[in-house]
Amino acid sequence: MLENFSFRTIVEYLPLFGQGLVTTVWLSALSFLGALAVGIVLCAMNLQRGWLFRVPAKAYIDAVRATPLLAQLYFLYFGLPRLGLVLPELVVGILALSLNSGAYVAEIIRAGILSIARGQVEASVASGMTYVQRMRLVILPQAFKVTIPPLLGQAIVLVKDSALLSLISVAELTRAGQLLASDRFMPAEGFLTIAAFYLLLYYCLKGLAALSARWLGTAGARL
């Protein structure tokens, strides 16, 4: 079985995989930043008491979570141009990942905020802080730490979801695997190699999270 496995071809295609990897990394990073922005806005809307902001935010989060990312991606890629908005595929890809992941990030941040003990809110209210002050000084610094592990999980999901962008011909990592598979009829080599690269990215993200946890981990930050 292994005698049919061509390491030589993988080496030959390494520059292509390298390019794909670099593209996957930076477009995932941009998308994750976008998702954080979308998530923070959605979460802020969702935590309002009035329905005016809360209802649209909830509807958006439900819509994104209920539908496949592929359908969302195809809507943006094939649907939007028919409605008169033509965007480059990279932009569509980053937009799709940001908008999709943002819904999940919103829920992660909301859970983090709600996990902060009620007494913290009461203590800051009682000291005369405004909503913005208690969010900024008391709630968010504590919530941020709690949300790092689930946010990391979401970042890992996002990196893997970015593989779907190969379907709208973005030259990312999975696309490189597809090229090797179709050019040389070597799907085993192609897809196993990209799997190895995704695994590598996974460990990088885990290391990053451990670093940030240590950086944020002041002595008293335990509840």
Find the shortest distance in angstroms from Cβ 136 to another protein: 9
DSSP 121-162: HHHHHHTT--HHHHIIIIIHHHHHHHHHHHHHHHHHHHHHHG
Q: Which range touches another protein (CB under 8 A), out of 123-131, 155-163, 184-192, 199-207?
A: 123-131
Strand ranges for the chain from DSSP E: none
Find the shortest distance in angstroms from Cβ 44 to another protein: 19
- Contact call for residue 215 and another protein (CB under 8 A): no
Cα dihedral 3→6→7→10 (10° resolution):
-160
Find the binder of another protein among 8, 82, 214, 222 (CB under 8 A): 222
By CB under 8 A, how many residues form the interface with another protein?
24
Of the pair 136, 206, the CB lying nearest another protein is at 136
For Cα atoms 54, 60, 63, give the angle at the middle one, nearest 5 degrees: 140
Of the pair 62, 122, the CB lying nearest another protein is at 122
Binding mask 45-84 for another protein (x = CB under 8 A): ----------------------------------------
DSSP-based helix, strand, coil % in the chain, nearest 5: 85, 0, 15
Find the binder of another protein among 6, 9, 19, 120 (CB under 8 A): 120
- Contact call for residue 114 and another protein (CB under 8 A): no
Of the pair 102, 112, the CB lying nearest another protein is at 112
- Contact call for residue 208 and another protein (CB under 8 A): no
Find the shortest distance in angstroms from Cβ 150 to another protein: 19
Binding mask 124-143 for another protein (x = CB under 8 A): xxxxxxx--x---xx--xx-
Burial of 7 (0-12, 13-18, 19+ CB in 10 A): exposed
Find the shortest distance in angstroms from Cβ 118 to another protein: 9
Residue with tokens 């922005």: 37
| Rg of the chain taking only CA atoms, in angstroms | 21
Element (H, E) at 36: helix 7-46
Find the shortest distance in angstroms from Cβ 211 to another protein: 19
CA distances from 125 to 74, 113, 121, 129, 174 (A): 46, 15, 6, 6, 50
Binding site for another protein (CB under 8 A): 117, 119-120, 122-130, 133, 137-138, 141-142, 145, 218-223
